[in-house]
Amino acid sequence: TTRFFFFFFFFFFELMAVGRRKGLGVILLFASIMALFRSSYLSYHSSIFLRSYSPAKMPRSFKLSRSSQTRALRSSIRASQIPIRSGLLKSKSSFSASSPPALTVYTHEDCLKHKMTSHPERIYHPECPERLRYLLQEVMPSLSAELDFRVLQPPRLPSDEELTRIHTNDYVKTVREAFKQVDEGETSVVYLDSETSVGPGTSDSVLRGAGVTLQAVEDVCEDRALRAFVMVRPPGHHAEPHTAMGFCFFNNIMLGLAHAQAKYPDLIKRAALLDFDVHHGNGGQTACFKEPSRMFASTHQSPLFPWKGLSEETGVNFNVINVPLSKDSSPQDFREAWENKILPSVRDFDPDIIFVSAGFDAHESDPLASLRLMESDFGFVTDKIAELANEVAGGRLITVLEGGYDPQALGNCVSEHLRSLSRTSLPSLEQRSRTSSKAVSAAMLFTQDEITSMNKNEVRAHLARLGMPTSGKLDVLKNRLAEVPATAA
């Protein structure tokens, strides 16, 4: 309307000018008509463009860049004679990169299918579906709303290549054959050991638990998540490379750790596995014991199944720390073990990612052990671990559910665990940008030149002093010695 008002005003003015200066009036009249036509044409077509090809409706391959959208919008603004307000449209480079969510929970309802026994007369087993069902139905709905985290059910399954990073080929074949026999109805149950049996639904639960763990690792390493809690069953930390043990089929958390190192070798050079389950994580220790790029640390009740985890078990270069706790140990003993013994060593190890076997069966209400921990004790150790992950690993932290056999106590402990993961401050920009190139060579016990000049007897003498294996060819022995950090002296 404004445009046409001005057009007729100038048209009337120009008609008056025609009588006085005929040539000037004609020129002005022609210029006004052309300006009106151009302005109306641009305004019409730019508005059609913005309505019909909005980014939300366009196929991804046809979406215009932000700069193209800005130019189109500015054309429309100019055509409508609307002034451009400075800073209204920011360029792409002016937006800060979005941070991954602080906490994400990974689970799957297929993990409810496994039952440890198929015999009708045995209606209860401590490692039962009710453990996870209570968490899914009674804990997650309200807690996810309170803490504002996502609960994801990824469809991921593990490949044999991923399983054999930790387990032997023969063991993986044995487990898959047991799954096949039960799933095809050849038998109703297959015992892999005296405490670990395959029944209907077991294959879905076991494979889904491993796959969900692998997906959580990929999301954390690719910055789609910062801290992940993997809420699956059956547990995994007792499973050894060659055998099932203690309700565990595949060692989920070690599969995740090995996957992180294998798929992201430039990012994840060193990884730490921490275990506060009341039972020693023997499978995790076995997989870390001879690997200098891995660290294992555990508090656990002793003596107790699996009858391992002595303080004298220290790994190839002191990368294993065990702090056994007697059944009369107090919550303060538990806290001091983590704060004064384990976490300082983890800080010295300087991992690029931290994994936690989060078993809550050290709670005073749990039926399978005798420690007297409370929910607040699990919150304490989770706080400390999350803070350390910020400091040394850019915040990358993955915790995986292990034990906890009183469903209500388990729910309370998991709630406190997740509140700790959620309330711990996010890593600073400096901490997040910290790379994995941490000058490892400067922190080694011997320089490469020193090792090269040693003969076999000298190398063996140093290895023996460090409590490391002394058998093997000279090149192997030198490589073993080259991986010893200065902190082992």
In angstroms, rounded to a whole number, what is the distance separating the alpha carbons of residues 135 and 463? 48
pLDDT by position in tens, the chain (length 489): 444 444 554 555 555 554 555 555 555 556 556 655 554 544 444 333 333 323 333 333 333 344 444 443 343 333 333 332 233 222 222 223 467 899 999 999 999 999 987 554 556 789 999 999 999 999 999 999 999 999 999 999 999 999 999 999 999 999 999 999 999 999 999 999 989 999 999 999 999 999 999 999 999 999 999 999 999 999 999 999 999 999 999 999 999 999 999 999 999 999 999 999 999 999 999 999 999 999 999 999 999 999 999 999 999 889 999 999 999 899 999 999 999 999 999 999 999 999 999 999 999 999 999 999 999 999 999 999 999 999 999 999 999 999 999 999 999 999 999 999 999 999 988 887 764 444 344 457 888 778 888 898 888 888 888 878 888 888 888 888 888 876 665
pLDDT at 476: 82
Distance, CA of 305 to CA of 159 (rounded, Å): 30
pLDDT of 436 reads: 40
Among 167, 238, 280, 462, the one annotated catalytic:
238
pLDDT (0 to 100) of residue 62? 31
Alpha helices per DSSP H over 282-406: 282-289, 331-336, 343-349, 375-393
* Residue 96 pLDDT: 34
Strands 190-193 and 196-198, how do they pair?
antiparallel
Tokens of 66: 């932000």
pTM above 0.75, yes or no: no
Active site residue 238: yes
